[in-house]
Amino acid sequence: MSTPVKKVPIHLQSSQNRLIIKNGKVVNETGILEDDVFIEDGIIKQIGKNLIIPGGTRVIDARGRYILPGGIDPHTHFEFDFMGTRSVDDFYQGTKAAIAGGTTMIIDFVFPKKGESILDKYHEYRQKADDKVCCDYGLHVCLTSWNDRVRDEMKTLCQQHGVNSFKMFMAYDFMLNDEELYSAMEACKNLGALAQVHAENGSIIRKNVEKLKAQGVTGPEGHELSRPESVEAEAVNRACVIAKAADSPLYVVHVMSKSAGNVIREHRDGGAQVWGETLVAALGTDGSHYKHTCFHHSAGHILSPPLRPDPTTPGYLMNLLAQDVLQLTGSDHCTFKKEQKAMGQGDFSKIPNGVNGVESRMAVIWEKGVHSGLIDPSRFVAITSTNAAKLFNVYPRKGCIAVGSDADIVIWNPAKTQTISAQTHHLAVDFNIFEGMVCHGVPEFVIVNGRVCVDDENLRAVQGHGTFVETPVNAPFIYAPEKLEEIFESKKNGVLDEVELHNKLAKIEFEPKTCFTPTLPDSAIGTPSCRGARPEGQRNIQDSTFSISEEMDTERKSCIKVKNPPGGKSSGFW
Ligand code: URQ
Ligand code: ZN
Ligand code: ZN
C-alpha cells in the first residue's frame, strides 16, 4: 500500500519549478518543430530557439528525442468493484504506472450499481481518488439504470461537478434497453455532454453462454465464443442508429474487431458524429491466447468485448486509427490477480473481465504504429493524447505542447528499447498481457504539471501530485464545429495570427443554459468558454499563445477535418 506524500506548494519548490528542454523535436498533432521548451510553475511558458530564461533553471538535453504531450488515457477502471471482486490497481498504483509509461492524465469511470445514485457514487470516487492520484484525472459516469433521478443527477454532475461524459452498457445485467439508450443519449445531447457506449448485444451473449455451458464448454475459450465479432458489430450499428435518431453525438468505447470498426467507418462516411476508441490490448495482442492450455494465461487475457482470434485484427485496427476511422486509444486498464481470475475456473462467465494497459499503452502503440511505419509521430500524439483532450474538452490545456498549456510532457527516446514484463512493471497485478514484448521507444523523462516524475528513467511519482480536472460540457470540437471552422478559415486566409487563433479558440462562447458554473476561489480563472477553476499558478488560456504553425485546410463534415502539413502523413480529424 502507498504512503501519502504531502504536496509541496508551488511557491516553495524554488528553482525546481523551472525547467528547459533543449535540442529535442517538439511533436504536436499538426507537425514537428525543433524548438526548446521552457517550463515554469507547471506551465509551458516559452517555446522557441535562444530563449531568454532565468539563471538556475534545470536543463534537460533532449537531442535525438521527441518531446511529446503527455499521454491521456481516456479509459481506466482503478479500484473498481466488479463481478464480485475489486480491481487491484488503485488510483495510486494505477496513476504511478501510467506515469512510468508516459501517460500524464487518465479518465476513469464512476460506476454505480444498478439503482444507486450516480451523484453519490461520483463523490465516493472523488474521495477515493483525490488524495491518491500521482497525475491529473477526470471522471466519466456510467449509467447502469435509467430513471428521472438519473436524469436530474446527470444535470447536476454536468453543471456543478465537471463531468461531461456518460457511458451506457448494451451488455451485462445493468445494460439499458434501446428506448433507455435513446433517452440517455438525448439527455447527453441536451446537456452538451458526450454519450459513450459499451457496444455488445447482451441478450445474444446471455443465450450463447447458456448454450455453450449446456454443451459442456466451461473454460476461458468460451468467452470469445459467446461474444463473437457479429455481436459487437450489431451493437455498434444499433448504437449509431439510436444516436442518430436521438440526434446525439456518440463515442464508442473499446472497438475490438474489424467488423465493428467497419460499421463506424460506414456511419462516419454517412456524416454521423461518431468517434471510436480502440484499446492497446487490441493493438498489441490477439485472441489466440484464449486457446492457451494454462487457465491463468487465457483467463488473464479476458476482457469484453474480447480479443479477436483473427490475427490480422491488430494491424487492421491500427490502420483504422491511421485513416481516422478510429480516433482514440485507451487501455481499459482493469486488473485482477490470478487468484481473482480463478473465480471463473469451471465457468468462463464468472472470470472477472479486464486486462492491464495503462503503463504499456504508449510503448505498444509506438511499436505497432510508429516503429512499424503505419503512423507518424504526429498521428501518435493525436491518438494517444490530443483527440482525447479535444473530445473531453480539456484542450488546449492538455493534449498539446503549446505556450500556456500544462507542462505534461514526455521526452521519448525512439532509439532505446524496453521489454515488457510482469516482473518489472509498476502495477499491483501479477500478470501482463504484453509479457516479453520488445518495444522501441522509452519515456526517459515524464514531466507531470511541471514536476519531473520520471527522471532519466527513474520513476519519482508523487502520491497526491495530481488533481481532479473538470471536463466542461459543450466541447467546441463536438458542439460548435462551425465556430471552429470559421476560426481555422481565418487563420488559413492570414486574417488571424497564431496568438489570435489561440485566443479565439479559448473564447468560444456557448449558450448560457449550458454554461459551466463552478464555485470559483478568488484566484481562479473563469473564461467565457466555461472552463473550471484552475489552481493558483496555472495559466489563463486567454492570455497565452498557442502554436498551430502549419497551414490548415478545413472542410466541414461531421466535425472539422484538418489536412496535415506537407510531409506529415498523420490524418488529424479536426
Ligand atoms: O466494460 C468495461 O469497460 C469494464 C466494465 C470491464 N472491463 C472490460 O472487460 N472491458
Ligand atoms: Zn465497457
Ligand atoms: Zn472499461
**Residue 235's closest CA among 208, 253, 267, 260?**
260
356 in ligand 1 pocket by Cβ < 6 Å?
no
29 in ligand 1 pocket by Cβ < 6 Å?
no
Does the pTM of the predicted model rise above 0.85?
Answer: yes
Residue position matching grid coordinates 471463473:
344
- How remote is the CA of residue 345 from the centroid of ligand 3, in Å? 22
Q: How many CB atoms are located within 10 Å of the residue 558 CB? A: 18
334 in ligand 1 pocket by Cβ < 6 Å?
yes
pLDDT at 507: 57
pLDDT at 145: 98
pLDDT at 490: 77
Report helix, strand or coil for 185.
helix
pLDDT at 485: 76
pLDDT at 483: 75
- How remote is the CA of residue 71 from the centroid of ligand 1, in Å? 21
354 in ligand 1 pocket by Cβ < 6 Å?
yes
Q: What is the spatial distance between Cα 375 and Cα 333, in angstroms, rounded to a whole number?
A: 24
Minimum-distance ligand 1 atom for the alpha carbon of 304: 9
303 in ligand 1 pocket by Cβ < 6 Å?
yes
- How remote is the CA of residue 253 from the centroid of ligand 2, in Å? 7
Minimum-distance ligand 1 atom for the alpha carbon of 111: 5
Cβ atoms 431, 300 nearer than 8 A: yes
Minimum-distance ligand 1 atom for the alpha carbon of 334: 7
Cis before residue 396, ω within 30 degrees of 0?
A: yes
Q: Which residues contact 190 (CB under 8 A, 6 or more apart)?
A: none
- How remote is the CA of residue 303 from the centroid of ligand 1, in Å? 6
301 in ligand 1 pocket by Cβ < 6 Å?
no
Q: List per-residue pLDDT tens for the chain, 574 residues long.
A: 344 444 544 444 445 699 999 999 999 999 999 999 999 999 999 999 999 999 999 999 999 999 999 999 999 999 999 999 999 999 999 999 999 999 999 999 999 999 999 999 999 999 999 999 999 999 999 999 999 999 999 999 999 999 999 999 999 999 999 999 999 999 999 999 999 999 999 999 999 999 999 999 999 999 999 999 999 999 999 999 999 999 999 999 999 999 999 999 999 999 999 999 999 999 999 999 999 999 999 999 999 999 999 999 999 999 999 999 999 999 999 999 999 999 999 999 999 999 999 999 999 999 999 999 999 999 999 999 999 999 999 999 999 999 999 999 999 999 999 999 999 999 999 999 999 999 999 999 999 999 999 999 999 999 999 999 999 999 999 998 777 777 777 767 777 765 566 666 655 543 322 222 222 222 222 222 222 223 322 332 322 222 222 222 222 222 222 223 222 233 333 4
304 in ligand 1 pocket by Cβ < 6 Å?
yes
Cβ atoms 202, 180 nearer than 8 A: no
C-alpha cell at 4: 501519502
pLDDT at 481: 77
Ligand nearest 332 Cα, by number? Answer: 3
Q: Whose CA is nearest to atom 1 of ligand 1?
A: 304
Q: What is the spatial distance between Cα 48 and Cα 549, in angstroms, rounded to a whole number?
A: 12
Q: Whose CA is nearest to atom 7 of ligand 1?
A: 354
Q: What is the spatial distance between Cα 224 and Cα 19, in angstroms, rounded to a whole number?
A: 49
Cβ atoms 47, 38 nearer than 8 A: yes
Minimum-distance ligand 1 atom for the alpha carbon of 80: 5
